[in-house]
Structure 1
Amino acid sequence: MIAFAYALIPVVMITALGWLLAQRNFLRPDGWRAIERLVYFIFFPALIINVLASASFDVAPWAMIIVLISAQFALAILGLLARRSDGGPRKGSIIQSNVRWNTFVGLSIASALFGEAGLALMAIAVAVLTPTANILSVLALTHFADLAEEKKPHVIMDMVRNPLIIGCGIGIALNLLGVAPSGIAEKTLDILGQATLALGLLVVGAAVDVDAFKRAGPATLIWSTARLLGLPLAALAAGLILNLPADGLAIVVIAAATPTASSGYILARQLGGDASLSANLIAVQTIFSILTMPALYALYLMTL
């Protein structure tokens, strides 16, 4: 548990630094968006390719994949059961919040706790959770919103073009072919990948809207609690049922325990969801996860 605290505290500090820099207008909003694009399209895929290409998996992590997807669908169904007052665009935003996760937080903690092996397993989680979250989010937001047909996104094409999915595909393919990057190629990917975690966490912090946290009402608190506890508990239960090895189970719990992704606000705004509710959910979960993540990791340790 002490190891987890050592892993979490730097994540919190760098995230808080990002928020402070944003509050002090260290960068203009378009500057933060530019950094986010660099991380998303260049640094993050480089990290994933380098890690997955040279990773050593004793057993193909199919059980871990099943656990993660099952937990996401369970939380999506929970969102569908939202009461009538949380219907329409609000329901789309609730479902999106329930199934999204913060990759930068998960990768940072996995790296600090388990090194390269943890990064490799968390990269697998990225490959599984990201497309599932995007598909469920887009379907939920568009279904419960009143959008013109021409505004509806092409979900499959968006998945094919997603840089994280492309990075995972390249990394896994190189691994299977036994041609992991070496020499200059490996060093280049390594340097690019090193920028991912710090810049990613700074962007997460810059996106935290404290005003949204102050606006949080009962629905925000209820659904934030459901997401922060429901997804990791569902994942932990499924992992125990499928007898996941300890390292795989730890990664599953860490990934699921992260707060919902800050990108959910932009998607909700674009696809007719309740953008205000999405902002509230992101802010509340990001702040409360500082407390819930250690508690859930402690619960995981008790199952060993």
Structure 2
Amino acid sequence: MYSISLIIPDFAIILLGLVLSRKGGFTKAFWDGAEKLVFNFLLAPFLFVSVAQSQLAVGESVRFLLTGICAMLLGVAASFAVRYFIKADAVTHASVFQCGFRFNTYIGFAICTRFCGAEGPSLLAMLIAFWVPISNSIAVSDLVRAVAKRDNQSENRSQLLRTTVLGVARNPLIIATVLGLIFNYLGIELIQPVKDFLSHLGSASLAMGLLCIGAGLQFSNLAKHFKLIAASCLVRLAVIPLMAWIVIQLTGLSGNAAAVVLVFASLPTAQSCYVMTANMHGNASIVAAVTTLQTLLSMLTLSILIALQFT
């Protein structure tokens, strides 16, 4: 109960976003704009300041990154294996596949900021910078192949590669993290007014991001493809965290670095999975159902993680 009480404030904000989206008189256009605001202009300053001011030891950072990436690659394999046990069409499987290894950024930073101190967000930002290009490439390529096969279209590999590379290169979270690493490595100090400006923007990102998660929850279609939805939740919230714990034991990672990898591996899938799937003509409705159920169940699974790791 103590661990649940620690995480309740963050999930209370998510539930507030759900209530406001249904009863607060805010339109879908408002929430779409809010998501763009957080993603493009609020979270990026938070990442930049966190990474630029962090004390990163090179040797430990390499071991941390290898541990996190290896754990998530095992998660990719586990998520892919689901299609061999549960029947569904290729596009539906490809749509749900990404939900096994993509992650909710806002919940991750809220938890790491609360429980891992100043070092937590910088470690998480660094892991995100390396994992996002890998995970996006895997998710996009699999879904493009499935959709092209369904629509009897020839797969344009060069176009796929160009779209993936541009998407990663233009990602504001990646840009902010890379700039933070450059400032950190060169020892460039931000002047106080600039630091305060960016810090204030970053502070606004966490609460607003959690509100947007709540506004995006969708409860329709939970009954359809229930076995596949349940399997995705089991893999994302139980199997992958267990794999991450095993990898951490093997690599000997400890302290905040180990905690961040565990949190990262335990996060529910990203809200952006739905947007990407809809834009690429996949099965967006099932992705919305998976995202909603994973987010709700993570209230329990993340509470268990906090009880084991932080209390």
Same fold (TM over 0.5): yes
Residue 118 of structure 1 corresponds to which residue in structure 2?
A: 120
Report the Cα offset of residue 292 of structure 1. 1.2
Q: Is the 8 A contact 2:4 2:300 kept in 1?
A: no
- Comparing 291-300 with 38-47, greater Cα deviation is found at 291-300
- Whether the 8 Å contact between 1:64 and 1:248 is mirrored in structure 2 is yes
Tell me, yes or no, if the aligned pair for 2:104 and 2:270 is still in contact at 8 Å. yes
- Taking the aligned partners of 2:292 and 2:226, their CA distance within structure 1 comes to 12
Match of 1:238 in 2: 247
Deviation of residue 240 (structure 1)?
Answer: 1.3
1:43 and 2:42 are equivalent in the alignment: yes
Would you say the 8 A contact 2:67–2:247 is kept in 1? Answer: yes
How do 1:88-237 and structure 2 match up within 5 A? 88-146=90-148, 148=153, 152=160, 154-213=163-222, 215=224, 217-237=226-246
Q: Which amino acid aligns with 1:39?
A: V
| Alpha carbons 1:253, 1:297 under 8 Å: kept | no
Letter in 2 for 1:108: A
CA shift at 1:273, angstroms?
A: 2.3
Q: CA deviation at 1:297?
A: 3.6
Mapped to 1, the partners of 2:299 and 2:12 lie a distance apart of 11
Cα drift, residue 234 of structure 1:
1.4
What one-letter code is carried by the residue in structure 1 that aligns with 2:9?
P
Taking the aligned partners of 1:231 and 1:168, their CA distance within structure 2 comes to 25
Q: CA RMSD in A?
A: 2.1
Structure 1: stretches of 5+ with no match in the other structure: none
CA–CA distance in 2 between the matches of 1:72 and 1:237?
A: 12
Q: TM-score, normalised by structure 2?
A: 0.90
Distance 1:278 1:200, change over 3 A: same
Counterpart position of 2:79: 79
> Does the CA-based 8 Å contact 1:79-1:91 persist in structure 2?
no
Task: Give % identity.
Answer: 26
Aligned residue pairs: how many?
301
Q: What's the CA shift for 1:54?
A: 0.7
Alignment deviations for residues 95-146 of structure 1 (CA, whole Å, 9 cap, x no partner)? 2011111110010011111221222222223223322221121112112222
Asked if residue 280 in structure 1 is aligned to residue 289 in structure 2, the reply is yes
Using the size of structure 1 for normalisation, the TM-score is: 0.92
Matched letter for residue 106 of structure 1: G
Flag as ranges the 4+ runs of structure 1 deviating above 6 A: none
2-structure distance, mates of 1:212, 1:258: 22
Q: Distance in 1 between matches of 2:224 and 2:292?
A: 10
Amino acid at match of 2:257: G
Decide whether the 8 Å contact of 2:48 with 2:176 is kept in 1: yes
Counterpart in the other structure of 1:69: 69
Structure 2 gaps of 5+ residues are none
Higher relative contact order (CA 8 A, sep 6+): 2
The alpha-carbon distance between structure 1 residues 30 and 291, as it changes in their structure 2 partners (threshold 3 A), is: same
Partner of 1:257: 266
Q: Which residue of 2 aligns with 1:296?
A: 305
Residue 13 of structure 2 corresponds to 14
